[in-house]
Amino acid sequence: MRSSELIPSIMNTHPTPQDLFLKRLFDVVVAALMLLISVPLWLLIALLIKLDSRGPVFFRQQRVGAQYDPRQMDWARQLFEVWKFRTMYSDVNQQKHADHIQAYVRGDLDPEADEIKLRDDPRVTRIGRILRRTSLDELPQLINILRGEMSFVGPRPVPTYEVDEYDTWHGERLHALPGLTGPWQVYGRGRVTFDEQMEIDINYVRTRSFWLDVKLFLLTIPAVLKGDGAR
């Protein structure tokens, strides 16, 4: 039986006004504080990136997210630029990653064989490997959070070439603001199949609340420190 057959019919995915307000308040306050506190770290990372390889400090890529329209009471997909610290040599070919993700979506990779994440990728710089292992490459997404394009917690924003491979039932994971972290990062983090990842994200979409977001935010800290699946 396919995983999609284990997912019941789509439930109400409309957040309450209270949850929307608390979520946005939490995002703005915490992101602003983190941004202010981490300024010296940003400068250090920028210096290390420039010393390690030629190219820009930041990497920007178009990703698929979603925004909630309270007037229409529905979610609409949106494209936006996600910010990261650059972890690869500049001007590398991104097709290798696209092919890998598409194979993951089709179920051609074996999580038990440690295939889900690209390992020993020669395109990644020395500093880039450290940034990825510690998830510090994601730090610039505080900018996306302050802009309202992302939240601290939600399904990860994904490239268009991943969404192009989605089955119909996968689309329900896009009924939420994309997040810097989320249930997959806490509970799956590179050790599950694609359909299992979709089930985790869809379950979050259906059961989310402000307090669930706070719980997942706090659980992310030990997950990042352990570095599970974050290469």
Q: What is the pLDDT of residue 62?
A: 94
pLDDT at 8 over 70: no
Q: What is the pLDDT of residue 5?
A: 41
The verdict on residue 2 lying in a domain is: no
Taking alpha carbons only, the member of 94, 121, 99 closest to residue 109 is: 99
Q: What is the dihedral of CA 173, 179, 83, 135, to 10 degrees?
A: -110
The verdict on residue 208 lying in a domain is: yes
Q: How many residues does the chain have?
A: 231
Q: How many domains does the chain have?
A: 1
How sure is the predictor about 4, in pLDDT bands with cuts at 50, 70 and 90? very low
pTM of the shown model? 0.84
Instruction: Find the mean pLDDT for residues 197-206.
Output: 91
The verdict on residue 47 lying in a domain is: yes
pLDDT at 1 over 80: no
Residue-wise burial string across 170-184, b where 16 or more C-beta atoms lie within 10 A, e elsewhere: bbbbbbbbbbbbbbb
Which residue segment(s) compose the domain that 70 sits in? 15-226
Q: What is the pLDDT of residue 9?
A: 40
Chain Cα centroid distance, residue 29? 20
The verdict on residue 144 lying in a domain is: yes
Per residue in 165-181, pLDDT tens? Answer: 899 999 999 999 999 99
The verdict on residue 7 lying in a domain is: no
Which residues on adjacent β-strands are paired with residue 78? 65
Residue-wise burial string across 50-74, b where 16 or more C-beta atoms lie within 10 A, e elsewhere: eebbebeeebeeebbbbebeeeeee
Tokens representing residue 108 in the block? 């051609």
The verdict on residue 27 lying in a domain is: yes
- Round the average pLDDT of the chain to a whole number and report it: 84
Chain Cα centroid distance, residue 147? 16
The verdict on residue 67 lying in a domain is: yes
The verdict on residue 5 lying in a domain is: no
